[in-house]
Amino acid sequence: MDVESAEALEKYVPYCSLVNKDRIIDALSTKMSLVHIGTPVERFYYRRMSGPELGNAPMLNQAQSNSLVVETYKRWVEAESNCRRYERVVTSLKNEENIRSKAKQEISSLRAQVDRLKELVQRRRR
């Protein structure tokens, strides 16, 4: 199937009865979305396939999809783990900041006490 150059550059808009409010949750909506997803040239290409070539194409596609699902899942698990680790780090830093803040308050209080003691010592020496 040859597509004229002007038609070949046009946007392909699949036709199906699905509308924006629909979700693909049943066999009919799944079929409607899948049947119309390929471009005319792509459908022509696949219709020319036969025998082992036709059988190998979906197996290859499925194997690649399975690998992609596994890789995506691994990355998701890693991202979740990193997120929990970062949350612990943030909590630790907040605790550390609280400790520093309390230490600064305690130091200020101790310095004030030292200053008061110095004043008392100086008053007694006079």
State residue 1's pLDDT score.
59
Across the range 34-44, mean pLDDT stands at 82
pLDDT bin (cut points 50, 70, 90) of residue 3 is low
Low-confidence winner among 15-19, 44-48, 55-59 (lowest mean pLDDT): 15-19
Three-state SS at 118: helix
- Write down how long the chain is: 126
Mean pLDDT, the chain, as a whole number?
87
- 14 or 106, greater pLDDT: 106
Most confident of 27-31, 37-41, 64-68: 64-68
Query: CA-CA distance, 14 to 43, in Å (whole number)?
Result: 12
Burial (CB < 10 A; 0-12, 13-18, 19+), residue 16, is middle
Q: What letters, b where the CB count within 10 A reaches 16 and e where it falls short, cover 93-121?
A: eeeeeeeeeeeeeeeeeeeeeeeeeeeee
State residue 19's pLDDT score.
81
State residue 42's pLDDT score.
85
Query: CA-CA distance, 90 to 40, in Å (whole number)?
Result: 54
In percent, the amount of the chain with pLDDT more than 90 equals 39
